[in-house]
């Protein structure tokens, strides 16, 4: 066979979409989209493809749409099966101009069609108006008259419906009427009258759809153009055939519709990439890399669209807005499917009971096509055996003679179709959702999947490699671009989870309106949960120490299981979305240089380099995840997704979690202890060194013992102690226990009490965060939960920190209004105040910093007494904690004064196999001059106390803070290798401390 690359005709121009007959001539891979609306060209293309011999490797594969579990009759698959003898657009109902949307505006009504359809349209108009007039969306409150009217309708004939547009409108009309009827009362009805059920089932058979409301009915087939002259574009479309006719319902469906408008560009790029995969030479790989980059950008645009919906306004000119409350309580209940009896649809007119879910975004063929194209595997699977796991690990390192790597499935496929419809997972869900797609679209996916498998008619022919296989074969040429596209899909799914959290999970925890049909049920559940919580608390208090350990594990499991939120398709929504996202993450090859998601930054503010610090600085637009203390106490199930957003290893995660609404005593405790930290640090050095315990590593006073960036850290002093108890077990077995040490000087009176009280509050909050982490990560390398490792620990550590003023101070005090209030520059930032590092704890609890201005001694010499330091805002915008994100950017982390923050440490990263990753961070000192806000605070003090402060002309600035390191006991296993926390700690100390504690000599 002649070398294909020698006769290339694919042009190098980008973009790839080139319409007209020439496009058909260039095509090498039978990708089922049609690129010309000209009928003659379409027929010519069909003829050209049909001329291929059946044993040619490019010949069309046989495609059979999947057969649902609940088929209506034996002939369903034949009637619903599209013609696959050619690749024309009509065969798959896919267009290069509209993607999976119909190529023409959908039929809006069957009025005037006769055969019973006029009566159905009139019934729909009446009930739509009735629902619109009922406050709260009308669900469960429709009239008896409506139900009686429906039952009296004639059974419409489907025989005259001879075209796809007519069938689509019939299915949309019948499905909406059916849902109006079934949910007209509360609880919902379970029997669908024959006048709806029979034609709905018959139309469904012809379209290859289930007899239920689907994504196609609510998005693909229910829109119209405002101005036909302008054509199909986002600002020229309105959604029709709604339940409540509210702006929120219109916006909800418009969101999915806007996503579908990206389909044509994505399909063209996928088609062009597969064309180039046929050649797979250097030129082709370069083009594929370019196309994958374009796909990544388009998927990021989809993600940005979802992000807009979570924040409020989205769409053209920001006109669309979805009210989360209205969506959850007024709109969404209309979508629900269920186990319904369809009257008259079985053999001999018998009733038939079937169970179907409602419409879901998971039924979008576009997202499924992207998964197939990128090789993101959602196939049902069982956990791998030990042998399979070893084989997989070995196979990654093995290359066959042709240079391709063996890729072993992560687990065994599930062939049992009954199991496919049991407890939901991403795999079963993704397969089930294909059953809710129009039969033509299902066939499209099967064809796309078949391109990379052998042709039964030509088993020895070359098989087209998938994009994933090519990326593995050519990691340097394609690896980064492929991973970038997969990472874009993960970001899309991350945002989908946020969308679901805002519109479903959070709303499920909030009470409905008192006049809603949902109120009695919601209130009953609330009371039941409160009673169960009280019983659980009583059991916990009555339990012995031994039994309480077992109860703790059961409580964590209860948090995971309580109140599973179902999607409209009947799924455990959070579980499905997380697993779906995890499957996407698994597809990453680990190629280097996967760029950070661009829209996390403010528009026009790209990442900038800072040569002096070797950090890629980002603007401070990335906001940490914030949760409330009350949500932790109530164990809100939505916290799992918030923990993931904050701490997982994806490029979008900042690595910081803020907890707000703390107990009221926090503010006073913080102020008291941080002032004492400054007072201790200003004691004579000889006094401070009396409390130094270098043989015990980090206990007592420590200054200059720690090594950062290869040199002793002299810019900060630390006072360490165990925050929970006064005696800490030794690091090694047989070591003497270590006792806390407390200063007794009059200047720091109350130091011990202040230290313990603030630490206790922070540890208590940390245990709650540990429980929230458990709900997300599940099983760890330890036999214990994160909460148990924290609550049972005798080895946690608290570190009270004083950052000494840097050389070059004191600062002068120019007028505040003479200093520009400008954002910091990258050159203002370095890590000399505290070098870049990661904590080795499970979690680190951070108290907000306090900055103290110390008037220079020469200025207050005339005062009757030395001036106390003044609390000021951060001395400069660039002062404070900086975090290196998972995506490699450095951003400033601001912790509000009334909150605490949590960072993840190396131990938690080991324990969770990096599902929760450690957070690199450093502390930047002040700039060369004080900022406007700091100067304004000093000026205000001078004005308030001119007698004592009026002469102050300069001073220095210190930073005080407290970090509590929540650590497991030294003998706890923290890694799959079996390493204990004590062994891991010793490794860390060897990295960071100049003095190493000698091991105790053997007797």
- Closest alpha carbon to 930 in 901, 952, 963, 951: 952
Q: What are phi and psi of 248, to 5 degrees?
A: -65, -40
- Summarize pLDDT for 646-700 with one digit per residue, the tens: 887 666 678 889 999 999 999 999 999 999 999 999 999 999 999 988 665 578 8
Q: What is the dihedral sign for C-alpha 198, 200, 204, 209?
A: negative
- Summarize pLDDT for 700-752 with one digit per residue, the tens: 898 876 655 556 667 789 999 999 888 888 776 667 888 899 999 999 999 99
Q: Please tell me the predicted confidence (pLDDT) of residue 596.
A: 34
- 82 and 439 in contact (C-beta within 8 Å)? yes
User: In a 3-state reduction of DSSP, which class is residue 192?
Assistant: strand
Q: Which helix (H) or strand (E) holds 398?
A: none
End-to-end CA distance of the chain: 80
Instruction: Write the burial class of residue 403 (CB in 10 Å: 0-12 exposed, 13-18 middle, 19+ buried).
Output: exposed
Instruction: Considering only CA atoms, give the Rg of the chain.
Output: 33
For 344, how many CA atoms within 13 A lie in the half-sphere containing its CB?
11
Range with lowest mean pLDDT among 10-24, 429-443, 749-763: 10-24
- Summarize pLDDT for 969-993 with one digit per residue, the tens: 888 888 777 788 888 877 776 655 4
pLDDT at 823 over 80: no
Provide the whole-model pTM: 0.58
Q: What are phi and psi of 292, to 5 degrees?
A: -65, -35
- Alpha-carbon distance 803 to 429, whole Å? 54
Could you tell me which residues are beta bridge partners of residue 964?
Answer: 798, 845
- Alpha-carbon distance 959 to 171, whole Å? 67
Please calculate the CA angle 420-424-430 and round it to the nearest 5 degrees. Answer: 70
User: In a 3-state reduction of DSSP, which class is residue 49?
Assistant: helix
Instruction: Write the burial class of residue 545 (CB in 10 Å: 0-12 exposed, 13-18 middle, 19+ buried).
Output: exposed
pLDDT at 898 over 50: yes
Please calculate the CA angle 367-372-375 and round it to the nearest 5 degrees. Answer: 120
- Alpha-carbon distance 411 to 414, whole Å? 9
Q: Please tell me the predicted confidence (pLDDT) of residue 610.
A: 25
- Alpha-carbon distance 717 to 379, whole Å? 55
The mean per-residue pLDDT over the stretch 351-370 comes to: 93
Q: Please tell me the predicted confidence (pLDDT) of residue 430.
A: 67
Q: Please tell me the predicted confidence (pLDDT) of residue 821.
A: 64
Q: Please tell me the predicted confidence (pLDDT) of residue 29.
A: 47
Q: Please tell me the predicted confidence (pLDDT) of residue 124.
A: 98
Q: Please tell me the predicted confidence (pLDDT) of residue 221.
A: 97
- Closest alpha carbon to 716 in 808, 838, 801, 800: 801
Residue with tokens 């101005």: 227
Instruction: Return the structure tokens found at 147.
Output: 């139900």
Residue with tokens 């496929």: 413
pLDDT at 476 over 50: yes
pLDDT at 565 over 60: no
- 628 and 556 in contact (C-beta within 8 Å)? no
Instruction: Return the structure tokens found at 589.
Output: 């090859």
Q: Please tell me the predicted confidence (pLDDT) of residue 921.
A: 79
Q: Please tell me the predicted confidence (pLDDT) of residue 695.
A: 62
- Closest alpha carbon to 987 in 966, 962, 970: 970
pLDDT at 858 over 70: no
Q: How confident is the model at residue 513 (pLDDT cuts 50, 70, 90)?
A: confident
- 617 and 890 in contact (C-beta within 8 Å)? yes
Q: Please tell me the predicted confidence (pLDDT) of residue 196.
A: 98
- Alpha-carbon distance 387 to 231, whole Å? 57
- Alpha-carbon distance 45 to 859, whole Å? 90
Query: Most confidently modeled of 543-557, 855-869, 904-918?
Result: 904-918
| % the chain with pLDDT above 90 | 40
Range with lowest mean pLDDT among 243-257, 458-472, 609-623: 609-623
Strand 954-966 versus strand 615-617 pairing type: unpaired
The mean per-residue pLDDT over the stretch 369-394 comes to: 65
- Closest alpha carbon to 487 in 295, 740, 766, 714: 295
Strand 954-966 versus strand 843-846 pairing type: antiparallel
Q: Please tell me the predicted confidence (pLDDT) of residue 539.
A: 74
The mean per-residue pLDDT over the stretch 869-887 comes to: 82
Q: Please tell me the predicted confidence (pLDDT) of residue 507.
A: 85
Q: How confident is the model at residue 24 (pLDDT cuts 50, 70, 90)?
A: very low
Q: Please tell me the predicted confidence (pLDDT) of residue 576.
A: 73
Range with lowest mean pLDDT among 184-188, 196-200, 329-333, 999-1003: 999-1003
Instruction: Return the structure tokens found at 498.
Output: 């946020």
- Summarize pLDDT for 90-140 with one digit per residue, the tens: 457 888 789 999 999 999 999 999 999 999 999 999 999 999 999 888 999
The mean per-residue pLDDT over the stretch 775-795 comes to: 84
Q: How far is CA 232 from the centre of its chain?
A: 31
């Amino acid at each position: 066979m002649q070398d294909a690359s020698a006769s290339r005709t694919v042009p190098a121009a980008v973009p790839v979409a080139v319409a007209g007959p020439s496009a058909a001539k260039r095509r090498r891979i039978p990708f089922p989209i049609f690129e010309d609306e000209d009928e003659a060209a379409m027929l010519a293309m069909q003829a050209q493809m049909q001329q291929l011999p059946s044993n040619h490797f490019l010949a069309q594969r046989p495609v059979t749409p999947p057969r649902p579990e609940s088929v209506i009759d034996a002939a369903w698959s034949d009637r619903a099966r599209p013609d696959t003898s050619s690749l024309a657009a009509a065969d798959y109902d896919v267009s290069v101009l509209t993607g999976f949307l119909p190529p023409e505006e959908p039929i809006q009504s069957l009025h005037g069609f006769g055969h019973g359809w006029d009566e159905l349209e009139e019934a729909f108009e009446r009930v739509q108006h009735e629902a619109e007039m009922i406050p709260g969306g009308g669900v469960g409150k429709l009239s008896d008259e409506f139900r009686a009217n429906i039952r009296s309708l004639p059974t419409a004939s489907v025989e005259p419906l001879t075209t796809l547009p007519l069938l689509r409108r019939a299915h949309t009309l019948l499905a909406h009427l059916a849902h109006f009827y079934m949910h007209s009362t509360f609880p919902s009805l379970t029997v669908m009258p024959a006048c709806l059920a029979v034609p709905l089932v018959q139309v469904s058979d012809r379209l290859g759809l289930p007899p239920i409301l689907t994504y196609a009915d609510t998005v693909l087939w229910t829109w119209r153009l405002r101005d036909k002259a302008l054509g199909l574009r986002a600002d020229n479309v309105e959604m029709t055939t709604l339940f409540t006719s509210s702006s929120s319902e219109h916006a909800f469906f418009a969101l999915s519709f806007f996503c579908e408008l990206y389909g044509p560009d994505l399909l063209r790029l996928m088609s062009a990439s597969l064309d180039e995969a046929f050649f797979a030479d250097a030129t082709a790989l370069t083009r594929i890399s370019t196309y994958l980059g374009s796909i990544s950008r388009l998927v990021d645009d989809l993600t940005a669209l979802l992000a807009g919906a979570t924040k409020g306004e989205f769409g053209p000119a920001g006109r669309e807005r979805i009210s989360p409350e209205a969506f959850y309580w007024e709109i969404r209940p209309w979508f629900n499917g269920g186990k319904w009896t369809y009257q008259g649809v079985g053999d001999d007119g018998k009733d038939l009971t079937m169970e179907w879910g409602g419409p879901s975004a998971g039924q979008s063929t576009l997202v499924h096509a992207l998964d197939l194209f990128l090789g993101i595997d959602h196939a049902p699977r069982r956990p791998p055996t030990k042998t399979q796991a070893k084989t997989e690990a070995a196979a990654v390192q093995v290359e066959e003679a042709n240079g391709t790597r063996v890729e072993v499935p992560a687990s065994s496929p599930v062939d049992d179709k009954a199991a496919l419809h049991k407890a939901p997972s991403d795999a079963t869900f993704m397969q089930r959702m294909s059953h809710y797609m129009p039969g033509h679209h299902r066939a499209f996916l099967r064809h796309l999947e078949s391109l990379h498998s052998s042709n039964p008619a030509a088993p020895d022919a070359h098989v087209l490699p998938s994009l994933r296989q090519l990326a593995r074969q050519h990691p340097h040429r394609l690896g980064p671009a492929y991973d970038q596209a997969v990472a874009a899909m993960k970001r899309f799914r991350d945002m989908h989870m946020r969308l679901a959290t805002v519109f479903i999970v959070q709303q499920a925890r909030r009470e409905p309106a008192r006049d809603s049909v949902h109120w009695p049920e919601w209130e009953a559940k609330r009371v039941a949960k409160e009673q169960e919580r009280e019983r659980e608390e009583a059991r916990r208090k009555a339990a012995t120490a031994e039994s309480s350990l077992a109860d703790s594990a059961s409580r964590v499991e209860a948090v995971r299981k309580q109140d599973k939120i179902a999607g409209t398709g009947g799924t455990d929504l959070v579980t499905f979305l997380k697993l779906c996202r995890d499957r996407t993450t698994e597809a990453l090859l680990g190629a280097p240089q996967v760029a950070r998601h661009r829209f996390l930054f403010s528009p026009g503010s790209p990442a900038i380099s800072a040569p002096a610090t070797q950090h890629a600085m980002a603007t401070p637009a990335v906001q940490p995840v914030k949760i409330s203390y009350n949500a932790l106490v109530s164990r809100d199930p939505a916290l799992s997704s918030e923990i993931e957003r904050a701490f997982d290893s994806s490029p979008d995660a900042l690595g910081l979690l803020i907890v707000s609404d703390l107990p009221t005593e926090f503010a006073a405790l913080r102020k008291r202890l941080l002032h004492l930290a400054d007072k201790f640090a200003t004691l004579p050095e000889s006094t401070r060194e009396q409390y130094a315990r270098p043989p015990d590593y980090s206990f007592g006073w420590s200054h200059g013992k720690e090594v950062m960036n290869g040199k002793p850290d002299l810019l900060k002093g630390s006072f360490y102690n165990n925050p929970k108890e006064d005696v800490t077990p030794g690091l090694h077995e047989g070591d003497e226990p270590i006792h806390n040490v407390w200063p007794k000087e009059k200047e720091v009176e109350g130091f011990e009490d202040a230290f313990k009280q603030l630490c206790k509050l922070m540890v208590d909050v940390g245990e709650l965060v540990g429980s929230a982490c458990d709900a997300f990560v599940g099983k760890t390398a330890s036999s214990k939960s994160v909460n148990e490792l924290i609550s049972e620990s005798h080895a946690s550590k608290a570190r009270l920190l004083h950052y000494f003023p840097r050389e070059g101070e004191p600062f002068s005090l120019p007028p505040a209004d003479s200093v520009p209030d400008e954002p910091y520059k990258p050159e203002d930032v370095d890590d000399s105040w505290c070098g870049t590092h990661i904590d080795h704890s499970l979690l680190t609890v951070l108290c907000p910093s306090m900055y103290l201005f110390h008037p220079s001694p020469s200025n207050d010499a005339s005062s009757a007494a030395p001036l106390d330091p003044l609390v000021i805002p951060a001395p400069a915008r660039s002062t404070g904690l900086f975090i290196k994100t998972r995506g490699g950017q450095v951003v400033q982390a601001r912790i509000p004064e009334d909150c605490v923050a949590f960072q993840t440490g190396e131990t938690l990263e080991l324990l969770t196999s990096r599902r929760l990753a450690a957070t690199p961070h450093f502390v930047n000192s002040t700039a060369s001059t004080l900022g406007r806000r700091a100067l304004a605070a000093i000026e205000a003090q001078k004005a308030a106390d001119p007698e004592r402060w009026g002469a102050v002309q300069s001073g220095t600035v210190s930073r005080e803070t407290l970090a509590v390191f929540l650590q497991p006991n030294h003998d706890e296993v923290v890694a799959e290798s079996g390493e204990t926390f004590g062994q891991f700690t010793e490794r860390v100390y060897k990295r960071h401390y100049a003095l190493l504690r000698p091991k105790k000599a053997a007797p």
